[in-house]
């Protein structure tokens, strides 16, 4: 068997953490990235899978529920993103889903907005909701005459197979003082499978380690503006997450009950922290090109 190669730093110095759905999750000792093995070699295959989401094991929402989940999500995170957009004239939302972020940002004056979404149903809904042009082309192949002041990738990075073509493309699309706004999972070295109920592997191809963003910055020429690490428990047990509908109506009923029980979510978050500690973060990171 060939030794797996890290898709970010090309090193073969890695070790296994756990496996899910027949894939191993490996930790790279050089750049700190966690990546699945076998890692997809055919990028087209990954893009096609996102386009139609043909496998059923992972909870994939229909566009209507996906939109409702986005509404809940951005109620909490919109202010951070809006702050990053101050003074910007153009924004590209990569993996824009059903378009709620673009829809909200359309209230900002003089901000040109456009999105990329590979999934056809979501892209169609995004067009309707936001009124923006939505491109169904992988970011690695996206070409534009506009140089964007802000590029957002909200919970998108871990789905994109090639770091080199992704970050080279983004750098070429950004204006000189542009910002790349990432919402992304960051894992501590000693993360365990039980820390999450479902890792969404192989839909998620990789997760950042705590040092990986620094590696990315030095490899692709970015500097960090802000880096906020939010312990996962705060996200898992936030009322916004629990109000978001899923596919199962039974689970939705439980969620509604929990949200309406005083202190239930805070107690669950505390229970999670006690039993799991903080080994997973959901982080907001803003990067700018290094001049």
**Closer residue to Zn ion in complex, CB, 4/277:** 4
Residue of 212, 279, 161 whose CA lies nearest to 32: 212
Residues 6+ apart with CB under 8 A from 38: 4, 23
CB of residue 183 vs Zn ion: minimum separation in angstroms?
22
Nearer to Zn ion among residue 7 and residue 138 (C-beta): 7
Nearer to Zn ion, 30 or 71 (CB): 30
CB of 8 or CB of 118, closer to Zn ion: 8
From the list 10-18, 148-156, 170-178, 180-188, the region that binds Zn ion by CB under 5 A is 10-18
28 lines the binding site for Zn ion (CB under 5 A): yes
CB of 30 to Zn ion, least distance (A): 5
**Residue number with CB closer to Zn ion (33 or 101):** 33
- Bridge partners (DSSP) listed for residue 18: 25
Q: How far is the CB of 213 from Zn ion (least distance, A)?
A: 13
Count residues near Zn ion (CB under 5 A): 8
Near Zn ion by CB under 5 A: residue from 25, 26, 27, 31: 31
Minimum distance from CB of 13 to Zn ion (Å)?
8
Q: Pick the stretch among 8-16, 95-103, 148-156, 279-287 that binds Zn ion (CB under 5 A).
A: 8-16
- Whether the bond between 202 and the residue before it is cis, its omega within 30 degrees of 0, is yes
> Is residue 30 a contact residue for Zn ion (CB under 5 A)?
yes
**Phi–psi pair at 15, nearest 5 degrees:** -140, 155
Place of tokens 């191809």: 205
Residue 131: strand, helix, or coil: coil
Tokens 């456009």 belong to residue:
114
The encoded tokens of residue 273 equal: 């922290």
Residue 28 C-beta: closest distance to Zn ion, Å: 3
**94 close to 35: Cβ distance less than 8 angstroms:** no
User: Is residue 6 at the binding interface for Zn ion, with CB under 5 A as the rule?
Assistant: yes
The dihedral through the CA atoms of 232, 233, 235, 241 has a sign that is: positive
Strand duo 112-116 + 133-135: pairing: parallel
CB 185 within 8 A of CB 179: no
Closer CB to Zn ion, residue 91 or residue 157? 157
Positions in the binding site for Zn ion (CB under 5 A): 6, 8-9, 11, 28, 30-31, 33
């Amino acid at each position: 068997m060939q030794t797996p190669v890290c898709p970010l730093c090309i090193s073969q110095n890695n070790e296994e953490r756990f496996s899910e759905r027949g894939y191993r999750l490996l930790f790279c000792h050089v750049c700190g990235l966690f990546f699945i093995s076998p890692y997809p070699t055919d990028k087209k295959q990954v893009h096609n899978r996102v386009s139609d989401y043909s496998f059923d094991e992972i909870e994939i929402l229909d566009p209507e529920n996906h939109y409702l989940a986005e509404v809940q999500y951005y109620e909490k995170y919109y202010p951070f993103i809006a702050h990053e957009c101050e003074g910007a004239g153009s924004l590209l939302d990569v993996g824009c889903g059903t378009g709620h972020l673009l829809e909200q940002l359309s209230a900002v004056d003089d901000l040109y907005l456009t999105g990329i979404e590979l999934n056809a149903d979501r892209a169609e809904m995004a067009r309707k909701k936001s009124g923006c042009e939505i491109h169904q082309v992988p970011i690695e192949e996206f070409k534009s005459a506009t140089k964007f002041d802000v590029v957002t990738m909200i919970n998108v990075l871990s789905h994109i197979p090639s770091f080199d073509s992704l970050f080279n493309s983004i750098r070429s699309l950004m204006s000189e003082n542009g910002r790349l706004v990432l919402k992304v999972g960051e894992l501590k070295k000693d993360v365990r499978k039980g820390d999450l109920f479902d890792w969404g592997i192989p839909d998620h191809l990789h997760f950042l380690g705590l040092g990986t963003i620094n590696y990315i910055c030095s490899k692709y020429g970015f500097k960090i503006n802000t880096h906020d690490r939010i312990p996962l428990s705060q996200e898992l047990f936030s009322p916004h997450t629990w109000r978001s509908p899923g596919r199962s109506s039974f689970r939705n009923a439980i969620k509604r009950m929990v949200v309406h029980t005083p202190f239930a979510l805070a107690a669950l978050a505390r229970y999670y922290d006690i039993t799991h500690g903080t080994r997973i973060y959901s982080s907001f990171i803003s990067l700018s090109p290094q001049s």
